[in-house]
Chain A
Amino acid sequence: QQPVQSPQAVILREGEDAVINCSSSKALYSVHWYRQKHGEAPIFLMILLKGGEQKGHDKISASFNEKKQQSSLYLTASQLSYSGTYFCGTEDRDNAGNMLTFGGGTRLMVKP
């Protein structure tokens, strides 16, 4: 079942923060976050595996709630390079190790 991402789009000024949410109706095995710039390959950001987990590097971090049904991606002090479309990809217990089911994407535009 496809995860639901929100918001669909967001426009920021440089230095502002953003949160992107990814929700599932059932408990997940893992959540993968990707960023894609137009015409380029989606780039892997991080995987979350455990309920309650928080992970991050630089100014991009993510959390996975205790029930493993929701993940949020946090972009702090955004930079122009953060612009792109962010996708969450989920694995559930039935397809763990198989394919990812992607959300609809969140288009992020960071302006000077």
Chain B
Amino acid sequence: EAGVTQFPSHSVIEKGQTVTLRCDPISGHDNLYWYRRVMGKEIKFLLHFVKESKQDESGMPNNRFLAERTGGTYSTLKVQPAELEDSGVYFCASSQDGQAPNTEAFFGQGTRLTVV
């Protein structure tokens, strides 16, 4: 069974450009999470989808970030326009049950975003 996959693995863009990150969760997982790790700091929550609905987007830094999960399958995270402080590793995770806590979350390998 395929794990959580993220594309691209690494992206280098100039300040002011747009970048779209994609996450394919494990098939059948209702929960999809986006996290970000800025170099030297902790992994921080960005938002949580349950199927196609945004359950919690309290961690989104600002309105330059837009996440979608059309059809409740894969998700995209768009940064427009990108700023230098957006650099970091963006992780996606998925888990199975929409209502049960304590469910193991499976992480993707992350997308390393570098804004120059």
**CA of A41 to CA of B94 in the docked complex: distance in angstroms?**
12
Taking the complex as formed, is B109 at the interface, i.e. its CB lies under 8 A from any CB of chain A? Answer: yes
Residues of B within 8 A of A84 (CB): none
The interface size bin for chain B is: 20 to 34
Residues of B within 8 A of A41 (CB): 3-4, 91, 106-110
What per-residue 1/0 map shows which CB atoms of B1-36 lie under 8 Å from chain A?
A: 001100000000000000000000000000001010
Given A47-B102, A91-B101, residue A100 in contact with residue B45 (CB < 8 A):
yes
Q: Is the interface of A mostly helix, strand, loop or mixed?
A: loop
Contact of B45 among A30, A34, A101 (CB under 8 A): A101
A102 and B101 contact, CB distance less than 8 A:
no
A107 CB → nearest B CB, Å: 11
Taking the complex as formed, is B85 at the interface, i.e. its CB lies under 8 A from any CB of chain A? Answer: no
Taking the complex as formed, is A39 at the interface, i.e. its CB lies under 8 A from any CB of chain B? Answer: yes
A2 CB → nearest B CB, Å: 6
Number of A-B contacts (CB under 8 A): 64
A4 CB → nearest B CB, Å: 10
Residue of B nearest to A5 (CB): B42
What per-residue 1/0 map shows which CB atoms of A80-112 lie under 8 Å from chain B?
A: 000000010101000111111111110000000
Residues of A within 8 A of B100 (CB): 97
Taking the complex as formed, is B64 at the interface, i.e. its CB lies under 8 A from any CB of chain A? Answer: no
Contact of A104 among B41, B56, B105 (CB under 8 A): B41
**CA of A57 to CA of B44 in the docked complex: distance in angstroms?**
28
A99 and B107 contact, CB distance less than 8 A:
no
Residues of A within 8 A of B105 (CB): 32, 44, 100
**CA of A34 to CA of B106 in the docked complex: distance in angstroms?**
10
Taking the complex as formed, is A40 at the interface, i.e. its CB lies under 8 A from any CB of chain B? Answer: yes
**CA of A40 to CA of B89 in the docked complex: distance in angstroms?**
11
A47 and B91 contact, CB distance less than 8 A:
no
A87 and B43 contact, CB distance less than 8 A:
yes
B42 and A39 contact, CB distance less than 8 A:
no
**Which residues of A pack against B, CB within 8 Å?**
2, 29-30, 32, 34, 39-44, 47, 49, 87, 89, 91, 95-105
